[in-house]
Amino acid sequence: MNNLLYIAWQPEEVIFRIGSVPVRWYGMCWLVGLVLGYFLMQWLYRRHKFPDEKFDPLFLYVFFGVLAGARLGHCLFYEPQDFLTSWDGFLSIFIPFHHLADGSWKYVGYQGLASHGGVAGLLIALYLYIRRSGMNTWVVLDFFGICSGITACFIRLGNLMNSEIIGKVTDVPWAFIFYNVDTHPRHPGQLYEAIAYLVFFVVIFLIYRKHPEKVGTGLYFGLCLTLIFTFRFVIEYTKEVQEAFEAGLPIDMGQILSLPLIALGVWAILRSRGRQYSQP
């Protein structure tokens, strides 16, 4: 295959440094996605006339819930042999440093965040938030269903900038050569997902603008889960397995973890039929 026909991909992982601390594209994409979700969520709360004091604590719950869940999800489901077999590995789950052979510590950031774990962490954080705030559960979940696609888009762009979660070797004309990995043209699965999640965000938002009365029924939460994780299940067929143990499975870990979320999404959509939420 002629590598000149394909897209050469070898971006710098670091955008700039603050002193000796690198600011990476991966972390910046996460930050941009969370900030966009924050402002959209704030707009939804105000549009539906919920007071600011109900919204104000939400970001901290979401930020720490998603980060903790995504980190634990990666460490427990994808690399337990690295993080659960030594004290240094266990510490690396929680702190963004790696213990070097000479005894020193190197800042590496949180390299390894799993989207399924992030969703689980989000749902736990929302449960705690709803208990404290007294917000209606389905209103909060629907708000997240409207917002989450844009955040998911930027997270996958972060994966693209990191040259991780790479696709299988292919000869399609839009293939990427991830030179930080090897010299084979591969499916840019991260880009596929980023584009799809942006499209899902637009579709769900347009449906919401036409039917704002369906907020609180579970429709938008269900649409978000069903669309994102059905696509995630299908797109896994274009990706390389992330860990060796997945090669012996009939479907990979990403697909296994997607199935219960698809089921939850379909159930939420079916539950929403014929319902309309009336704000007290």
Long-range pairs, 52-55, Cβ under 8 A, ≥24? 54/133, 54/134, 54/135
Q: Is the dihedral of CA 31, 233, 176, 80 positive or negative?
A: positive
- Distance between CA atoms of residues 243 and 255, nearest Å: 14
- Distance between CA atoms of residues 200 and 39, nearest Å: 18
Residues 6+ apart with CB under 8 A from 138: 216, 217, 218, 221, 277
To the question of whether residue 71 is assigned a binding role by annotation, the answer is: no
Q: What's the token pair of residue 190? A: 């991260």
**Distances from the Cα of 50 to the Cα of 39, 45, 62, 127, 240, angstroms:** 15, 5, 18, 18, 45
Binding residue ranges? 156
